[in-house]
Amino acid sequence: MTPYYPVRKAVKLPEGFDTLFYPPNLQTVPNRAAIIRANQYMVECSNYLIAYVWHPASNARELLEYAGTGTRKGKIHITNLADKQIHLPKNMASVL
């Protein structure tokens, strides 16, 4: 998915991808708001939201709150990994 109108700037697809998804009706949205609107569109079209939101003053926190209210309330399963205690290995190289 890209929040920016692909006609304005050529977008190179990452290896292994064969198409690009551009949410509808974003052509007139200013670039500074495009990511926020694209994320809201994805929340509207999803059944699950898995996020890691720990900072109280962030756009990610606002998106998490947006997903839990309004028309999506009760229709989307929200998991915030920051609310769960996750133990990562000290040596991440051993995981990779």
pLDDT at 88: 62
- Over residues 48-79, the pLDDT tens digits come to 999 888 888 888 899 998 898 877 778 889 99
pLDDT at 47: 92
Angle at Cα 9 formed by Cα 7 and Cα 10, nearest 5°? 90
pTM: 0.71
SS3 79: strand
pLDDT at 87: 66
